[in-house]
């Protein structure tokens, strides 16, 4: 029995579908309260790709025969208690969260909501496993590479050896979050690591990078996953592709020399499925990334792909950086655990960019209609 939380989300939906296909004899339970749909609607945007209503999704996925979809809020102790008691999972793939750093920075209210939603959900799951004597469950959680900040040294996978005043130990990497969302994931990590140390819970802590892509083999056409392109929920790759498709320049913040970690949607989904197929062992950290790419190099990659795939020329325009971050950063991030999980085969970012153009080319009218949700104000009056 495997529970997938956040099963209506961008990553959660294809994970649910792939688990159902890969493990036909296993019962798969999808859990969501459909909050992501409300958050995106609240900030005035939509998924560029049409997705089924919650009721239609439930109907479709349950036709697979080995999937049940349960609607509920993980911040509710009573709901989580019921979930764990009834289904007694062998593994939990915990993908439910408010995942947007910009959304968490909007206001006092949004910062508090983000941390309450994310941290209480995780704590409820951890304590429900303990209180129901289910500490053999493999707890697989999506955290983020954003907890590392931007240190000027190679970033390890979760832990590093430190020497100080004659002493030596292996310690968790310090948390240097850059938003209230990222800090919520730091808190999740602390709580999961405590559950491992005190109770012996087996945890796979997946530090998710910037996920890029529109489809997977299972999640496309009628079963498509959502695709956000707005400032709050659309990652930089998706915003750049959206700008390209409606004829605007790619707006690189500052010099664009900030190194950022990326991963394709395909590899993101596949790694969670592979972990769900395995037994947990201690506290394992996976830096889920193909490595760092500088933002200006990403823009050039998209510029090249736009010409090759859809015959569009696009300009790169540097604009003032609205974010508090280093103007230049050589991010070096270790990912040996992740590479081993993926058998050394990690997909190139260009593949995901081509997938985005192929998927969105017919959706230009939707992107144009919501361009004020992702274009800098300086560009909105240019056409």
For 177-197, what is each residue's pLDDT tens digit? 999 999 999 999 999 999 999
- What is the pLDDT, as a whole number, of residue 254? 87
Give residue for tokens 């999808």: 30
Is the model's pLDDT at 300 over the cut of 60? yes
- What is the pLDDT, as a whole number, of residue 329? 83
Which string of DSSP letters, residue by residue, matches 263-300? EEHHHHHHHHHHHHHSPP-SEEEEEE-SEEEEHHHHHH
Q: For 263-281, what is each residue's pLDDT tens digit?
A: 999 999 999 999 999 999 9
- What is the pLDDT, as a whole number, of residue 99? 97
Catalytic positions: 144, 181, 185
Q: How many CA atoms lie within 13 A of 346 on its CB side?
A: 19
Give residue for tokens 């206001």: 107
Q: Domain residue spans in the chain?
A: 2-215+263-291
| CATH number, domain 2-215+263-291, options 3.40.50.360, 1.10.3720.10, 1.10.10.10, 3.40.50.720 | 3.40.50.720
- What is the pLDDT, as a whole number, of residue 321? 77
Is the model's pLDDT at 30 over the cut of 70? yes
Contact 171, 250 (CB under 8 A): no
SS3 state at 67: strand
C-alpha distances out from residue 170 to 67, 131, 180, 334, Å: 41, 30, 27, 16
- What is the pLDDT, as a whole number, of residue 381? 57
SS3 state at 149: coil
Contact 84, 128 (CB under 8 A): yes
Mean pLDDT of 311-340: 88
Is the model's pLDDT at 351 over the cut of 60? yes
Query: Could you give the CA distance from residue 35 to residue 17 in angstroms, rounded to a whole number?
Result: 20
Give residue for tokens 């859990």: 31
Mean pLDDT of 280-309: 95
Is the model's pLDDT at 380 over the cut of 70? no
Query: Could you give the CA distance from residue 115 to residue 108 in angstroms, rounded to a whole number?
Result: 11
Does residue 327 or residue 87 have the better pLDDT? 87
pLDDT, averaged across the chain: 95
Contact 42, 15 (CB under 8 A): no
Which of 345, 259, 340, 244 has the alpha carbon at shortest distance from 294? Answer: 259
- State the pTM of this model: 0.95
Answer positive or negative: Cα dihedral of 318, 289, 12, 355: positive
How many CB atoms sit inside 10 A of residue 235's CB? 18
Query: Could you give the CA distance from residue 153 to residue 290 in angstroms, rounded to a whole number?
Result: 18
């Amino acid at each position: 029995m495997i529970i997938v939380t956040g099963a209506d989300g961008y990553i959660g939906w294809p994970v649910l579908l792939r688990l159902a296909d890969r493990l036909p004899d296993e019962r798969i339970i999808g859990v969501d309260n459909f909050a992501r749909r409300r958050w995106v609607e609240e900030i005035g945007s939509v998924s560029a790709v049409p997705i089924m209503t919650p009721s239609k999704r439930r109907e479709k996925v349950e036709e697979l025969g080995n999937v049940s979809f349960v609607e509920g809020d993980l911040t509710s102790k009573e709901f989580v208690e019921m979930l764990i008691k009834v289904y007694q999972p062998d593994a939990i793939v915990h993908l439910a969260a408010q995942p947007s750093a910009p959304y968490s920075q909007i206001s006092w209210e949004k910062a508090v909501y983000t941390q309450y939603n994310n941290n209480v959900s995780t704590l409820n799951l951890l304590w429900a496993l303990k209180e129901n004597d289910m500490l053999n469950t493999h707890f697989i959680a999506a955290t983020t590479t954003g907890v590392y900040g931007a240190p000027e040294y190679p970033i390890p996978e979760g832990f590093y050896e430190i020497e100080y005043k004659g002493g030596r130990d292996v310690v968790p990497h310090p948390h240097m979050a850059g938003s209230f969302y990222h800090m919520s994931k730091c808190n999740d990590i602390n709580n999961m690591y405590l559950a491992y140390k005190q109770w012996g819970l087996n945890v796979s802590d997946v530090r998710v990078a910037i996920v890029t892509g529109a489809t997977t083999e299972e999640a496309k056409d009628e079963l498509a996953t959502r695709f956000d392109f707005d400032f709050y929920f659309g990652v930089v790759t998706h915003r750049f592709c959206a700008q390209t498709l409606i004829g605007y320049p790619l707006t690189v913040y500052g010099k664009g020399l900030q190194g950022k970690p990326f991963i394709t949607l395909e590899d993101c989904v596949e790694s969670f499925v592979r972990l769900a197929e395995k037994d947990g062992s201690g506290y394992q950290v996976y830096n889920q990334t193909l490595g760092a790419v500088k933002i200006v190099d990403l823009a050039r990659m998209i510029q090249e792909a736009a010409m090759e795939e859809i015959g569009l020329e696009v300009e790169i325009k540097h604009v003032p950086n609205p974010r508090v971050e280093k103007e230049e950063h050589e991010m070096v991030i270790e990912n040996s655990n992740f590479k081993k999980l993926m058998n050394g085969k990690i997909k190139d970012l260009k593949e995901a960019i081509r997938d985005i153009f192929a998927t969105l080319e017919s959706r230009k009218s939707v992107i144009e209609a919501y361009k004020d949700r992702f274009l800098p104000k300086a560009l909105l009056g240019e056409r």
